[in-house]
Amino acid sequence: MSTAALVLAAGRGERLGAGLPKALVSLAGVPLVVRAVEAIAAVPEIERVVPVVPPGELARFAALLSGVAGAHKLAPPVEGGRERQDSVRAGLASLADDTAWVAVHDAARALVRGADVSRVIAAARRHGAALLAVPLRDTMKRVRDGRVLETPPRAECWAAQTPQVFAARLLREALAKADAEGFLATDDAQLVERLGAPVAVVEGEVGNLKITTPEDLAAAEVLLRARGERAA
Ligand code: C5P
């Protein structure tokens, strides 16, 4: 049963303000996309890694990724789209028909740990779909027009991360339904939830943060140093 990973790197990254695609921003001297692809390719259960890159950037990303660790698992980059969901659709369309399992990962989560990826893959194989998430430490408020609508019980609130792993046919079906209904999701599990299918939650690590702002980049550098991992 083959397992493939889409590494989504097609975001514009405006909040990082670096003036280049976010995935190319350096974290301690190594671009986020390189870190993310290497982390995912190192996972033994994953056989194929497909980078999904900004439109018009195929050549630049292909050159950058040609020398990564685990390059033998790497497929040629695929062009993503305007919305994250467009990028997922493009990546999925590129996968071989016999792909049984798909892990979708944000390149912006460049610090993901291989052991966590393996745990979420195992959960997906048991339940059909699974995601990494962490329990929230803050109390959540649903807010509209500057007013609180409701306060969901904190014990039930988790922050969704990636990878999120799915039976390939389930994700394809979920995406087709969302597209037909014009529904745009901010993560992929949401699409599968809309089918009424169960999604298992695997507790991950706060360190698997989505690097979105300059402050996140600084926090990621501190985390890397604390882990004693490679810096430039
Ligand atoms: O900021 P956001 O949650 O949209 O981005 C999460 C991930 O999805 C990032 O790694 C980003 O590169 C990717 N993305 C994408 N295509 C888009 C938008 C985001 O691949 N159109």
Over residues 128-148, mean pLDDT: 98
Q: Which of 7, 8, 184, 186 to mutate to test the pocket of ligand 1 (most atoms within 8 A of CB)?
A: 8
Q: Cα of 57 to ligand 1 centre, how many Å?
A: 15
**Per residue in 5-47, pLDDT tens?**
999 999 987 777 677 889 999 999 999 999 999 999 999 999 9
Residue 109 predicted with pLDDT over 60 = yes
Alpha carbon distance 15, 19 (integer Å): 10
The CA-atom distances, in angstroms, between 223 and each of 151, 172, 196, 197 are: 31, 35, 37, 35
pTM of the full structure: 0.96
Residue nearest to atom 19 of ligand 1 (CA): 11
pLDDT at 198: 98
User: Which atom of ligand 1 approaches the CA of 81 most closely?
Assistant: 21
Q: What is the mean pLDDT of residues 157-172?
A: 98
DSSP character at residue 18: -
pLDDT of residue 232: 43
Ligand 1 residue neighbourhood (C-beta within 6 Å) = 8-11, 22-23, 52, 80-84, 86-87, 106-108
Average confidence (pLDDT) over 165-189: 98
The average pLDDT across 132-141 equals 97
Report the pLDDT averaged over residues 197-221.
96
Q: How far is the CA of 85 from the centre of ligand 1 (A)?
A: 9
pLDDT value at position 15?
72
Query: Tens digits of per-residue pLDDT, 45-71?
Result: 999 999 999 999 999 999 999 999 999
Token digits for 44? Answer: 């033994």
Ligand 1: which atom is nearest the Cα of residue 8?
Answer: 20
- The answer to whether the CB of 102 falls within 8 A of the CB of 90 is no
